[in-house]
Amino acid sequence: MKQELKKELEDAFAKTKKEFGLTKTFEEYENIFFLYDMAVQDGFVAESFHRQLSSRIVNIFNSWYNHLHSIILPSQGSMVSMTESNMFEDKEKEALTILMNKIIEHIAKNTIVTLTKDVEEQRAFLDDSVDFWNEIKPPLLGMAKQVHAGWNKYTKE
């Protein structure tokens, strides 16, 4: 990563942390949401960095939501999603549906922040996203391991 972009990102985070009273560290956000990758992918650090960060967070959670959705309601035209759906029992799918609901509820908080521009709500969304990730990571990891084991089984048959 270009050093100037890296410094710009770290400076923007420090400014945002101070302005919004964030309690989490840059490293905590980086380890979960890959902020350096975001800056490289975007090619810039936004003037309103808190919005760029929020967008990144929403995109990460939305990606997981979509993966879970493809397991719960597989596309009939996708061999991958049909196969992965069959790797889960109905009771497991119910638990994944609850997880999907939690993810969407969390994402919906960002919509409120976007509309109200409330500084405290923005701080809460950003910091809560780190805690929320730590809450949902274990079941996501369990799902990912189950999917991997299922594909591993198919490759050995």
Predicted confidence band of residue 3 (pLDDT cuts 50, 70, 90): confident
How far, in Å, CA of 54 to CA of 102, rounded? 17
What are the tens digits of pLDDT across the range 50-102? Answer: 999 999 999 999 999 999 999 999 999 999 999 999 999 999 999 999 999 99
pLDDT at res. 16: 97
Predicted confidence band of residue 2 (pLDDT cuts 50, 70, 90): confident
Count: domains in the chain: 1
pTM over 0.75: yes
In which domain, by residue range, is 145 found? Answer: 3-156
